[in-house]
Amino acid sequence: MKCSVCDQQKGKRTCTRFGGEICSKCCGTSRDESCSSCTYYQPTELVDLRKIPRFYDFGKEVDNNPEFACASMALEVSIKEFDFLNGHKTFDSIAVGALKYLISKLMNQKIPETLNNQTCQLLSILESRIEEIKQNTLYNYNSDLLTKIINTVYYVAERRSKGGREYLDFLFQTLPNDTFVPNNKALSVKDIVRTRNALL
């Protein structure tokens, strides 16, 4: 389906403002404050994530380091469980938006007052998970390290997504099944550490 604005590029994002599919270029150049509830909307107050440090080789730097792997896996398990409890009706844009706003909040940046309901819910879950990670006595996490890990997860999510559920499907395909219990209680970081250490 062609972009409803330029009618040239392929429309990959659903736009409520123009009432149809829209390409990423037109999405970025035609936004205004009426788009504030959209997860693709980024007001100027938000931190530029390109300037935030991240790990560049996820496999070597994160997966092979239990300290980093525990935190990144805890976040992704939370995203995976959120999607399961929502009947697999979540889109990647919700996960990407929640991770982006999570970083902004950790850096004391202002975020939009009006976010869509799913983004708010997942952001709240991820904030709770970060607090739990900070209290984990097995590893020592500071805010700079956590921000770097979250930004790496954000980068992976954004790269994997093509506007649908590609990143979320990737989580269900790659995260071990025994790290995820489909119930109303999220796994604790302690559970994830135990499972992760058993896999290393």
CA distance 40 to 98: 11
Based on the domain organization, do 166 and 144 belong to the same domain? yes
Based on the domain organization, do 79 and 156 belong to the same domain? yes
pLDDT tens for residues 134-155? 877 566 777 788 888 888 899 8
Based on the domain organization, do 68 and 148 belong to the same domain? yes
**Mean pLDDT, all residues of the chain:** 77
Output the pLDDT for position 18.
81
Query: In which domain, by residue range, is 43 found?
Result: 13-47
pLDDT tens for residues 73-94? 889 989 998 998 889 989 999 9
Kindly tell me if the per-residue pLDDT of 26 is higher than 90.
Answer: no
φ/ψ region of 98 (left if φ > 0, alpha if ψ in -120 to 50, else beta) reads alpha
First to last CA, the chain: 44
Based on the domain organization, do 131 and 67 belong to the same domain? yes
Query: Which among 22, 18, 19 has a CA at the least distance from the CA of 9?
Result: 22
Query: Domain tally for the chain?
Result: 2
Count of residues in the chain: 200
Based on the domain organization, do 134 and 195 belong to the same domain? yes
The residue type of 40 is: Y
